[in-house]
Structure 1
């Protein structure tokens, strides 16, 4: 049985990814931070269709907890599926929000760094010995960090960390290739998710008035839905993408095209 670990799967893109992988016959270990109810919803949706999933709490911004998380993963792999390795890793956890350059505090900058860049780096490092040779990783980035992406004032810290994740993805792809492990990134455009900012305010639920404006900037005429991205991630992890590594796929419906 193939097994995936999906980080940040209590809602949005991570939730969709976990469900899409389960539909393809993959068992899922999914994580959540504050939204336990959402994580249980993900597990229930997977089990309803006959799949298998386990939810674990993980704060990606606290790298000191990663060794204990790894031990939890080891125990679940052994006790639930009688395996000692897993096949796929999706680094998806994050938070949104904006602050103009002159208003960005060191505290906010450091939080972005811990969650969006340091977290994926050292969590992958902790889990890498458990990832099977020939496995695959997808890092969820943002089209705000692409050279061709729209540069919107107020996202300098956020986009800087996502830009670092893009570079990290290429170096992972190079180094992990010796074990046949593929690494790619996806860069979503505006997507309807629950992604909260640093104050806990939830994206489009709090600011629905921005949706028509973003849709008007998108070639396909709407904002993205979680499944638009989740299906791409599942495809990148799958056998049909076995010759793709070191790539960053923009999944934005032609935003700002």
Structure 2
């Protein structure tokens, strides 16, 4: 919850598409101003900003490669300028570490390059970007890290990806403990299988895979981006302020 009477402002990494875009739009529906980041598709990000602004709240998009810590100083400076210029603020209220990449490879065949790419984006990037942005997060703010159902249940081909997400889940508890004196809550949201273009869009486009996952989900279907966008808005709402250091899975009951 914002420490001022003004509407909160959230930063969502990877907010130009997929789950990040849905998160941004759901937060905008609740009056939250949003800064999204994108890695390369500026046109896509601009379109999301327009959709957010059409809801009557302020929005901005900034370029960021979460997998390259060398760019974090410049990004923090750009974010600070954007907060002051567009939002009239010097602090964020919410940080959602959402940006990610997918690699599907068996444990035996995963390359060092694939492992490093996953680590740099999902684990190292989240760790050091959050560290860099701590001065820009308001006391009493919220940090939400994004994990995966694959950190709990197991599908062959995701060993390296799931290991990074497992690391994020442990990191979340430590962040919650250490940032507690600033009244900043830190939680982790673990989506189940969602119909997006993530990982080549397999869950969305492969009908057999989609049916298989739906059959193993208590609610009988695969997740949609809005399922996750709504969960994020819920966790970042004023009513979610006493939830801290927790892993929340949003999977419709996969693999129960």
Calculate the TM-score normalised by the size of structure 2. Answer: 0.94
Q: 2:3 aligns to what?
A: none
Q: 1:168 aligns to what?
A: 171
How do 1:50-65 residues align onto structure 2 when only pairs under 5 Å count?
Answer: 50-65=56-71
Q: How far off its partner does 1:90 sit?
A: 0.1
Q: 1:81 aligns to what?
A: 87
SS at match of 1:90: strand
Q: 1:22 aligns to what?
A: 28
Q: 1:10 aligns to what?
A: 16
2:218 is equivalent to residue 215 of structure 1: no
Q: How far off its partner does 1:81 sit?
A: 1.8
1:31–1:208 distance in 2 versus 1, CA, 3 Å: farther
- 2:41 and 2:23 mapped to 1: Cα distance? 17
SS at match of 1:163: helix
Identify which of 87, 94, 97 aligns with 2:100: 94
5+ residue gaps, structure 2, are 1-5
| Aligned residues: CA RMSD | 1.2
1:36–1:169 distance in 2 versus 1, CA, 3 Å: same
Per-residue deviation, residues 54-105 of structure 1 (Å, max 9, x unmatched): 0111110001100000000010111112211110000000011311111011
1:191–1:205 distance in 2 versus 1, CA, 3 Å: closer
5+ residue gaps, structure 1, are none
1:203–1:36 distance in 2 versus 1, CA, 3 Å: farther
Aligned length: 250
Q: 1:192 aligns to what?
A: 195
Q: How far off its partner does 1:205 sit?
A: 5.2
Per-residue deviation, residues 175-204 of structure 1 (Å, max 9, x unmatched): 0001000000010100111214xxxx3444
2:181 is equivalent to residue 178 of structure 1: yes
SS at match of 1:136: strand
Q: 1:254 aligns to what?
A: 253
Q: 1:128 aligns to what?
A: 134
SS at match of 2:130: helix
Q: 2:241 aligns to what?
A: 242
Per-residue deviation, residues 150-176 of structure 1 (Å, max 9, x unmatched): 211111100000000000000000000
- 1:238 and 1:131 mapped to 2: Cα distance? 16
Q: 2:159 aligns to what?
A: 156
Which consecutive segments of 4 or more residues in structure 1 shift more than 2 A? 34-38, 201-209
SS at match of 1:246: coil
Contact 2:139 2:184 in 1 (8 A): yes
Contact 2:204 2:210 in 1 (8 A): no
Per-residue deviation, residues 8-39 of structure 1 (Å, max 9, x unmatched): 11111111111111111111110111333332
Contact 2:194 2:204 in 1 (8 A): no
Q: 1:229 aligns to what?
A: 228
SS at match of 1:192: coil
Calculate the TM-score normalised by the size of structure 1. Answer: 0.94
